[in-house]
Amino acid sequence: MNAPPNVIEFRKVTKRFGDVAAVADNDLAVKAGEFLSILGPSGCGKTTSLRMMAGFEQPTEGEVFIRGENVTGVPAYRRPVNMVFQHYALFPHLSVADNVSYGLRQRNPKPSKAQIDRAVDEALAMVRLSGYGKRRSYELSGGQQQRVALARALINRPAVLLLDEPLAALDRKLRRDMQIELQNLQRDVGITFLLVTHDQEEALSMSDRVCVMREGRIVQTGSPRELYDQPVNRYVADFVGKTNFFAGPSQAEVLSVRPEQIEIAASLTHLPEGLAARLPVKVLNRIFLGEHTEYVVASEQLGAFMVMAPRKSERDAGIYDIGDMIAAGWRAEAERILPNN
């Protein structure tokens, strides 16, 4: 079976603002039909990368391809992409239907009213807002406004939908609900989604692949599981999920152990057999989070580190108190020796 073609490509793309390289010599290939997230902290170059894909910024060096065509220098309105912004940019004086159809009505030649009405109905149905066409945007909840922005972006059936932190303004529960909706929507419409976010949970839960950026450069690209289980260095391990770092074999290396891979017990004799590390530890802090409890423990050899204990039954919740002397350990396969950068 042939691999899906690349719908967007960066080839040695650099973007400078004065003497600062916001994006530095990056190669990236986005496959048709995939959900890819660009993940990184503020200032890493992820939004600048998205804006170059959209055509709002042009590379200082390198080339941008969409569907195999070199679009470097091509303005945004001539690119087969649409963008959803963090603040949605809905027109408050227009109805939901008019907001959704805005792009269609700017076309030359303009579609007929019947064609526009049919396209609006289909777009609103895609985002589960059928019957909302006559409402104003200010009459909608934050989640509904976000879906209107999605419908407006999808109505033209772009080759790629670019999402610039579209869930950042939502509360935690609604954000999680919308993550699931975006996943389902992407599968239903089959359009390539490219999301920019600083939220590692968002990127891991929604994406087929994640591209991690740092100071303008792509550090690692892979599936969420690959990035979590096989980070290329300390930076990726620290940014993708929670982990503990201990001294490595040399100053250039660090030992990483994820907190959920650490076992705890009342004493060393109560720990399972076959552990590579077995340590007496003191409980410094405990945070009950419902489905699991996070402990901060400390040993004389390693100092403080985090343990994530799943809640298997009611008695497992908060079973160890602050100040208790207990035991912790982990298996050899939990250890990752990583470059310390």
209 and 304 fall within a common domain: no
4-8, 141-145, 254-258, 302-306: the lowest-pLDDT one: 141-145
62 and 165 fall within a common domain: yes
201 and 65 fall within a common domain: yes
Does residue 149 sit within a domain?
yes
Closest CA to 281 of 259, 264, 256: 264
CA angle, residues 194, 200, 203, in degrees to nearest 5: 30
Tell me the backbone φ, ψ of residue 252, rounded to 5 degrees. -85, -5
What CATH number is attached to the domain comprising 26?
Answer: 3.40.50.300
Tell me the backbone φ, ψ of residue 14, rounded to 5 degrees. -130, 140
Q: What is the pTM of this model?
A: 0.87
**Token representation of residue 106:** 């700017």
Domain of residue 335 covers: 245-339
Residue 315 has pLDDT above 80, yes or no: no
Residue 168 has pLDDT above 50, yes or no: yes
57 and 175 fall within a common domain: yes
How many domains, the chain? 2
Residue 140 has pLDDT above 60, yes or no: yes
Distance CA 152, CA 124 (A): 9
Does residue 93 sit within a domain?
yes
Where b means 16+ CB within 10 Å and e means fewer, 103-135 reads bbeeeeeeeeeeebeebbeebbebbebeebbeb
